[in-house]
Amino acid sequence: MSEAWTQERIRERARALGPWFHNINLKGVSTAPEHFLGDYPRIKWQRFAGALPHDLAGKSVLDIGCNGGFYAMEMKRRGAARVLGIDFDEDYLAQARFAAEVEGLDIEFRRLSVYDVGALGERFDVVFFIGVLYHLRHPLLALDLVHEHVARDLLVFQSMQRGSDRVLPLEPDYEFWRTDIFDDPGYPKLHFIEREYAHDPTNWWAPNRACSEAMLRSAGFAVLSHPEDEVFICRRSERAPDGYGAVYPARGRGAAG
């Protein structure tokens, strides 16, 4: 253990920075031992960690909505040359900076909304976009922006999902009078949450699995694997020139901080 960060000091600082959403083990001190989902996000990570390259030497990683930095730290441990975590919540960023410092990991954390990723002016080999989509009022716009500005190769995507796990094979088009497909549980559905779900007013949408896959495809991401119920590993592909890019004026570089 480093001299500077004794367990007592870590515990004290972690408490001052709380409450935490990420339960991170910092030299034997758990940041959120009472997490309602258990040892989260480690239990989630263990279910899809094997689906990502183990060696990220020379690669760059962007973690969008990085929260307490759990995934950014895991990527740095895999040898990524550059890891940037962004979140629009300063309290979570303070947690992430502290956790990375205790673990001795060189990671940059910056306050930035996913809507402003255009300001980064940089693409990343691996982009994490997990646990964020359903918190956004404009989820497809966010995916479009990720595609347009920051994704170079792999996208690690996760969303809370509700509804059927069935995926209806879709035809390219349907006649106007054909309405039965919309009642099929396997048709892509994005449930709108006007008020609250799970006591969280920032839960705006809950896609079913078919909808997660369809939105990813529509934004230009080919699904490579589906290692966990809610997780999709994707590869960025060039979009067909359909004119449906991100309809949002990317803020000038350096304008968002």
Residues that bind ligand SAM (CB under 6 A): 21, 41, 64-65, 67, 87-89, 92, 113-115, 130-132, 135-136
Least distance in angstroms from the C-beta of 59 to ligand SAM: 19
Whichever of 41 and 207 has its CB closer to ligand SAM, that residue is 41
Contact 59, 126 (CB under 8 A): yes
State in angstroms the smallest separation of the CB of 14 from ligand SAM.
17
CB-CB contact of 189 with 210 (8 Å): yes
How many whole angstroms separate alpha carbon 153 and alpha carbon 127?
8
CA distance 128 to 67: 12
Looking at beta carbons only, is 136 or 210 nearer to ligand SAM?
136
| Amino acid (one-letter) located at 222 | A
Q: Cβ closer to ligand SAM: 157 or 221?
A: 157
What is the smallest separation between the CB atom of 140 and ligand SAM, expressed in angstroms? 14
Closest approach of ligand SAM to the CB of residue 98, in Å: 15
- What's the burial of 89, exposed, middle or buried (CB within 10 Å: 0-12/13-18/19+)? middle
Nearer to ligand SAM by Cβ, of 87 and 144: the residue is 87
Do the beta carbons of residue 222 and residue 117 sit within 8 Å?
Answer: no
Task: Tell me the pairing of strands 205-207 and 190-192.
Answer: antiparallel
Query: Which residue lies nearer to ligand SAM by CB, 114 or 120?
Result: 114
Enumerate residues 6+ apart whose C-beta is below 8 A from 92. Answer: 21, 66, 67, 68
Q: How far is the CB of 71 from ligand SAM (least distance, A)?
A: 6
